[in-house]
């Protein structure tokens, strides 16, 4: 990967790739905001075609899915990609509000 392409990777993802511990990684890709809806749709289609189980979340401008570790660098070459991070799984206990019984 070139220096400019690794700028889009978070430190957490960069470290994971350097360690080489995972063949497949669940990632979150943040797209740059653009008023051009056609350009945005093209970027969404391009990114989703390179991921497995891809899901676009419009409200946050992110795409979530899995990718082979060897294919992450190809995603950094897409101009509309702002950043790529490892998808973090949040334990259910962190989602509960201790002040509200039955908040689950």
Please give the Cα distance from 55 to 66 (Å, whole number): 10
Is pTM beyond 0.95? Reply is: no
pLDDT tops 60 at residue 21? yes
53 Rama sector, left if φ>0, alpha if ψ -120 to 50, beta otherwise: left
- Return the CATH number at 53: 3.30.70.80
Location of structure tokens 């797209």: 31
* Strand, coil or helix: 70: helix
Please give the Cα distance from 85 to 67 (Å, whole number): 12
Q: Which domain holds residue 7?
A: 3-88
Q: What is the pLDDT of residues 78-87, one digit of tens each?
A: 999 999 999 8
Residue 29 resides in a domain? yes
- The total of other beta-carbon atoms located within 10 Å of residue 16's CB is 18
Q: What is the pLDDT of residues 37-95, one digit of tens each?
A: 899 999 999 999 999 999 999 999 999 999 999 999 999 999 999 999 998 765 666 65
């Amino acid at each position: 990967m070139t220096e400019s392409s690794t700028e889009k990777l978070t430190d957490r993802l960069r470290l994971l790739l350097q360690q080489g511990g995972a063949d497949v990684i669940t990632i979150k890709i943040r797209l740059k905001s653009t008023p051009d809806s056609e350009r945005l749709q093209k970027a969404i289609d391009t990114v989703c075609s390179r991921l497995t189980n891809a899901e676009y979340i419009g409200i946050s401008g992110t795409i979530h899915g899995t990718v082979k570790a060897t294919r992450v660098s190809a995603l950094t070459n897409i101009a509309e990609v702002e950043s790529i991070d490892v998808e973090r799984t949040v334990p259910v206990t962190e989602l509960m509000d201790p002040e509200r019984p039955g908040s689950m």
